[in-house]
């Protein structure tokens, strides 16, 4: 390759790697797989090796990715938290061994290795003085990290005090366990919150919160894997990393659980293979195995480069592909009602685990791959990623294969399955479908819905698990004893919940309509509906044409409402809610004053005496409208503390800006 072409490729690779590293380290939102990133990095390393004169200090081959997040204090690491050199073959491990062995022989030092799992999390340091935790910090760029001491204190296995009064700084990996990650994402899906891409980024995002209460609510854990610095008077390392780990356990640290002392590189390779075979049994995610020199004196002699230590190396397990038979495709109903096709496979061992089924995502994925039931397919499982079908071997077809047809009714409850234009996912629209009951309940009791305080997702899960609640209407049959049985000494809590449930019976009709979770219906359109139709029966009996003519309700939304109220499950639920005493009539506004008729307000910033919803309700009660964006048609912008870009736009357009005090005068005159 010509130098000019190499220069161009290196520049492009650095640009891409910087972008993906920023997403991964700083935004906790990866855009490509670790393997794709590693391959890109390897290509850059190879080009820089071929053209060393093109290496620069700002290349990611020469530094660690990551920056200090705004809002955190900076911490300068006394001992840098370096990255590791990655290798992808046993031959490269043997080359590493040759380099280390040569230095060991030259200096008459013994050579042993310690092989550990490479935990997939966020690297951090904990500093103790006189046995007390005084500082917790993220790796950052390796030299400067973020002070997350208060957040670290919320993690169960971070000891606030050690079993001995010593001065020591240790390095570990903050992570979220596999099952805990799945559970967390399930709950986020139910609450209609964005899902985390993977456990590593969930852990990083959770630790790097400015509010430690958010960190405390996440299932974070930590494994310690290295001593960074210690007081020799109080901590004897015995010149062995393996011994150090044992002593750290006695001090009270949660030390990396998979660690093997090896006499040579061949034993180390066998230990790596064993980790690969057993990785499915681990309760946490890994992205490889680490080989470390055990002899601490030899480590000092070997030294480090600017970015990586010369005494350790990371082996990354390459993605493995296998052929197998696609026996069938069955559909599963998720907690959001999403219908997901699942491949039933002839069992095959891939990357250390036996795969017998995997997701096929949606109907489009099946069509894009050209999959048929009975096909021979190629399965890939890279690292701890869910296995997936990556190819179909069409030349092995014998004519017995058959096409997959997406169901038109829910396989769980029999309600219609709807796939809307522009969406990849088909969904069950049955409101009493047992597969998505938790999602429906969470939406029903939410602040935007019936606003039943105390019924959080974890309480709802327990009520469903214990059989107290099988559908939405069952909320109104709960007793104090039912709720109290969920918590120790929970009678006061239970009474508060029952009181909140009873209060919700008197809610306005628009709140009930919002709570039912009809597709495309939010608070605004629910208010439009109840203003035109003052009872739930009138909404249920309205024609499609009538619904489409309702303010804030278009044709697509009208079709959704029309379909919803003609489902047997919906009819059954409405009757049960009426029997329970839930209000199904619109409340006549006490305020007949239309002083804001024809006026459009935009709210920005924090108001001292009102929430956004409360201010919006007041404006609408006076006949006005509330919009989410500023335009020339905006009448007023109500600006509170820390008003943002909407205020700037209002100033540019010459829109009237009012303070909370002026707003109070407008509504009290």
Most confident of 233-247, 255-269, 434-448, 591-605: 255-269
Quote the CA–CA distance of 182 and 177 in Å, as a whole number: 9
Burial label for 22, CB within 10 Å (0-12, 13-18, 19+), is middle
β-strand partners of 295: 240
| CATH class of the structural domain 429-579 | mainly alpha
The DSSP result for 384-395, as a single string, is TSPPEEEEE-GG
Q: Are 339 and 359 in contact (CB under 8 A)?
A: no
Annotated domain spans of the chain? 3-54, 74-315, 320-396, 429-579, 600-668
Tokens representing 297 are 């004196």
* Topology of the domain covering 600-668: Rossmann fold (3.40.50)
pLDDT for res 502: 96
- Model confidence at 591, in pLDDT bands (50, 70, 90)? low
657: left (phi over 0), alpha (psi -120 to 50) or beta: beta
Residue showing tokens 């003085």: 129
Sequence-separated (6 or more) residues with CB below 8 Å from residue 661: none
More confident residue, 139 or 4: 139
Quote the CA–CA distance of 291 and 390 in Å, as a whole number: 31
118 has catalytic annotation: yes
Tokens representing 345 are 């496979």
Q: 303-320: per-residue pLDDT in tens?
A: 998 889 999 999 998 777
Quote the CA–CA distance of 308 and 289 in Å, as a whole number: 16
Sequence-separated (6 or more) residues with CB below 8 Å from residue 87: 93, 96, 313, 314, 315, 316
- Has domain 3-54 been given CATH number 1.10.287.610? yes
More confident residue, 130 or 192: 130
CATH superfamily to which 320-396 belongs: Nucleic acid-binding proteins (2.40.50.140)
What is the DSSP code (8-state) at residue 156? Answer: T
Q: Are 313 and 239 in contact (CB under 8 A)?
A: no
What is the DSSP code (8-state) at residue 475? Answer: G
Q: Which of 112, 118, 247, 436 is catalytic?
A: 118
- Model confidence at 112, in pLDDT bands (50, 70, 90)? very high
Q: Is the pLDDT of residue 381 over 80?
A: no
Q: 538-554: per-residue pLDDT in tens?
A: 999 999 999 998 877 88
Question: With b meaning 16 or more CB within 10 Å and e meaning fewer, what string describes 531-569?
Answer: bbbeebebbbebeeebbbebeebeeebbbbbbbbbebeb
| CATH class of the structural domain 74-315 | alpha beta
End-to-end Cα separation, the chain, in angstroms: 79
Q: Is the pLDDT of residue 299 over 80?
A: yes
Quote the CA–CA distance of 194 and 163 in Å, as a whole number: 41
Q: Is the pLDDT of residue 63 over 80?
A: no
Quote the CA–CA distance of 445 and 309 in Å, as a whole number: 54
- Model confidence at 198, in pLDDT bands (50, 70, 90)? confident
| Model pTM score | 0.67
pLDDT for res 589: 54
| Stated length of the chain | 669
Give the 3-state secondary structure of residue 232: coil
Q: Are 377 and 383 in contact (CB under 8 A)?
A: no
Q: 15-58: per-residue pLDDT in tens?
A: 888 777 777 666 656 667 667 777 788 888 888 878 887 787 76
Query: Which among 286, 279, 273 has a CA at the least distance from the CA of 353?
Result: 279
Average pLDDT, the chain: 89
Kindly state the average pLDDT of the residues 385-405: 91
């Amino acid at each position: 390759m010509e130098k000019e072409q190499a220069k161009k490729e290196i520049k492009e690779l650095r640009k891409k790697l910087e972008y993906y590293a920023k997403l991964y380290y700083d935004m906790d939102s990866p855009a490509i797989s670790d393997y794709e990133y590693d391959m890109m990095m390897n290509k850059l390393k190879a080009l820089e090796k071929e053209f060393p004169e093109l290496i620069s200090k700002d290349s990611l081959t020469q530094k660690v990715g990551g920056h200090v997040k705004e809002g955190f204090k900076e911490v300068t690491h006394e001992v840098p938290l370096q990255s590791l050199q990655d290798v992808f073959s046993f031959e490269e491990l043997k080359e590493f061994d040759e380099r280390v062995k040569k230095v060991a022989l030259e200096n008459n030092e013994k050579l042993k290795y310690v092989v550990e799992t490479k935990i997939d999390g966020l690297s951090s340091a904990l500093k103790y003085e006189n046995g007390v935790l005084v500082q917790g910090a993220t790796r950052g760029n390796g030299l400067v990290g973020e002070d997350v001491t208060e957040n670290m204190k919320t993690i169960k296995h971070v000891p606030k005090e050690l079993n001995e009064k010593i001065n020591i700084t240790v390095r570990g990996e903050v992570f979220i366990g596999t099952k805990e990650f799945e559970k967390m994402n399930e709950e986020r899906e139910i609450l209609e919150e964005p899902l985390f891409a993977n456990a590593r980024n969930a852990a990083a995002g959770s630790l790097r919160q400015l509010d430690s209460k958010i960190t405390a609510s996440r299932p974070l854990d930590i494994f310690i894997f290295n001593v960074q610095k210690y007081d020799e008077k109080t901590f004897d390392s015995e010149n062995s990393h393996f011994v150090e780990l044992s002593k750290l356990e006695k001090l009270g640290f949660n030390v990396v659980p998979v660690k093997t002392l090896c006499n040579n590189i061949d034993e180390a390779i066998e230990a790596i293979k064993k980790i690969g075979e057993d990785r499915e049994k681990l309760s946490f995610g890994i992205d490889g195995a680490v080989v470390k020199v055990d002899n601490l004196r030899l480590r000092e002699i070997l030294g480090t480069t600017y970015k990586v230590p010369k005494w350790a190396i990371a082996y990354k397990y390459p993605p493995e592909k296998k052929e197998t038979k696609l026996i069938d495709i069955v559909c599963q109903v998720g907690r959001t009602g999403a219908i997901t096709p699942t491949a039933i496979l002839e069992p095959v061992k891939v990357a250390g685990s036996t795969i017998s089924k995997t997701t096929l995502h949606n109907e489009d994925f099946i069509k894009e791959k050209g999959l048929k039931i009975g096909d021979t397919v190629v399965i890939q499982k890279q690292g701890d990623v869910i296995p997936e079908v990556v190819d179909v071997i069409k030349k092995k077809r014998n004519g017995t294969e058959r096409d997959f047809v997406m169901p038109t009714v829910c396989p769980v409850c029999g309600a219609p399955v709807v796939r809307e234009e522009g969406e990849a996912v088909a969904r069950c629209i049955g409101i009493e479908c047992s597969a998505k009951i938790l999602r429906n309940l969470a939406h029903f009791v939410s602040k935007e819905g019936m606003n039943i305080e105390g019924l959080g997702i974890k309480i709802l899960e327990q009520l469903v698990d214990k059989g107290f609640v099988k559908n939405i209407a069952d909320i109104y049959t709960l007793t104090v004893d039912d709720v109290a049985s969920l918590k120790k000494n929970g009678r006061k809590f239970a009474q508060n919940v029952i009181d909140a449930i009873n209060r919700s019976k008197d809610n306005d009709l628009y709140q009930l309509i919002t709570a039912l979770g009809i597709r495309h219906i939010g608070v605004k359109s629910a208010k439009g509906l109840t203003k035109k139709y003052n009872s739930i029966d009138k909404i249920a009996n309205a024609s499609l044409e009538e619904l489409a003519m309702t303010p804030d309700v278009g044709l697509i939304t009208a079709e959704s409402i029309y379909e919803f109220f003609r489902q047997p499950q919906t009819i059954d639920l409405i009757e049960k809610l009426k029997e329970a005493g839930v209000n199904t009539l619109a409340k006549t506004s006490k305020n007949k004053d239309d002083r804001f008729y024809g006026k459009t307000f935009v709210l920005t910033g924090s108001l001292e005496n009102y929430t956004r919803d409360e201010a919006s309700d007041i404006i609408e009660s006076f006949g006005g409208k509330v919009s989410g964006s500023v335009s020339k048609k905006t009448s007023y912008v109500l600006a509170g503390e820390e008003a943002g870009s909407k205020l700037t736009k209002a100033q540019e357009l010459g829109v009237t800006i009012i303070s909370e005090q002026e707003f109070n005068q407008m509504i009290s005159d």
